[in-house]
A and B are shown apart, each in its own frame.
Chain A
Amino acid sequence: MTIELFNEEFKGVSGKLKSYLLRITASMHDAEDIVQDTYIRASEKLHTFRGESSLKTWLFTIASNLAKDNLRAQKRWVENVTDICREEAMGNQEFFREAIHISATSTQGAFEIKEHITFCFTCISKSLPLEQQLCLFLKEVYEFKVNEIATIIDTSEAMVKYYLHTGRAKMTNVFDNRCALINKEGVCHQCSELNGIFNPKQKFQEEVVKIEMAREAGSADKEHLFDLRMKIVKEIDPFESGAAHLQLHHLDHNRNVMEKYV
């Protein structure tokens, strides 16, 4: 492959690569750095790329290895990350001042419930063991096949299936217990609270019924609701969406809180 063709193809993959890295690191700066490092590493080793996998798979492999080096040294987050970070945020006026400023001035500062669902998934997925988190994103959001994921995280297909199954099971149960959008007894109401702050004139229930997952909450099983949640995550690019600026600010806050907490 020529460097010109590589550059062109890299440009096509880099957006997805960056959002994947943001979702697994929860750090905008780490995501951007690793995309850069992936480009450098891949262009240096381009002569070794023999097309045994797609270029996209090869690039995700390099990026995942770079991210894993960093992530293995860090502790995993906790399931109730959003409760802990909410408490911290309540006592942090500076955080709210900045958020209100972003909401009022940024073209990517709108608060939207779907964006918050995606943000919430990113935070809680960091409570999974790393391999489960990687497999879940690679399969459910970036649509890699099991054999491609096995290549990316350097394991067997059987292990990928194990990580996917257990990761899905854990996340399905966490949301089934926590998320008030799908369970009336759910303990987390943050999207309604934040919607009240950022969109005070909006009627939350009217907004919620626009979301298929919430509409089907009373009738669908938790597996299907998890699929609908993943559909929302898949549709949103955390860097390009209308709420990106606000949600990245929120993610930055949660990462700082978790780094001290875990």
Chain B
Amino acid sequence: MAQNGKATTEKKTFSRTTTVATDIHVDTVIIWKLLTTASDYPRWNSTVISVEGNIAARQKIKLKSTLAPKRTFKLEVKEFVTDERLAWGDGQGTRLYTLVKKDNGVITFSMTEKIGGFMFPMYAKYIPSFDQSFEQFAADLKKEAETIQNSTR
């Protein structure tokens, strides 16, 4: 998986998987706090309109995205491993965030979303591409996290 902030999408008959990864020069806790503080998302993430709820294990959250601004996605937090893995999703798909610390201290952030199911071929064409939104999400996260890390105030 390339850590260049470029999204890739793999299409199959019954599913579609989009992934993006980027290297971020920060302490893991900063990324983790940004990913798990629901109310703060709209401030730094231009792909998110709002996130309501508590991003914690098995909690329910409501997310509005710029990709589908009229829809509110009701999601459940499916994985919550502090500083390592976060996943949320619904019956149609799951989004997974991972943080991996390299030997040089740089964090590789990745975000993968797999959507699909038996009915997927019928509605697949109505679901917009996630690529641009994923790239923007990763770029916003990298910018905000590195701004915090490098702040001298």
Give the distance to chain B from A79, nearest Cβ to Cβ, in Å.
11
Considering the complex, which residues of chain A in the window 159-203 have a beta carbon less than 8 Å from any beta carbon of chain B? 159, 161-162, 164-166, 168-170, 173
For chain A, the count of residues having a C-beta within 8 Å of the partner chain is: 13
Give the distance to chain B from A80, nearest Cβ to Cβ, in Å.
16
Considering the complex, which residues of chain B in the window 28-74 have a beta carbon less than 8 Å from any beta carbon of chain A? 29-30, 33-34, 37, 40, 43
A170 to B37, CA, bound (A): 13
Structural contact, A139 and B153, CB atoms closer than 8 A = yes
Count of A-B contacts judged by CB separation below 8 Å: 33
B148 at the interface (CB under 8 A from A): yes
Give the distance to chain B from A129, nearest Cβ to Cβ, in Å.
9
A165 to B147, CA, bound (A): 9
The residue that B148 contacts in the complex, of A139, A156, A165, with Cβ under 8 A, is A165
Query: Binding site of A, secondary structure by majority: helix, strand, loop or mixed?
Result: helix
A162 to B29, CA, bound (A): 9
Give the distance to chain B from A141, nearest Cβ to Cβ, in Å.
13
Q: Specify which chain A residues have a CB less than 8 angstroms from the CB of B43 in the assembled complex.
A: 166, 169-170, 173
A158 at the interface (CB under 8 A from B): yes
Residue of A nearest to B145 (CB): A162
A162 to B37, CA, bound (A): 12
A156 to B149, CA, bound (A): 12
Structural contact, A158 and B151, CB atoms closer than 8 A = no
Q: How does the 8 Å CB contact mask read for B9-45 relative to A, with 1 for contact and 0 for none? A: 0000000000000000011011001100100100100
The residue that B27 contacts in the complex, of A158, A168, A169, A170, with Cβ under 8 A, is A158
Give the distance to chain A from B28, nearest Cβ to Cβ, in Å.
8
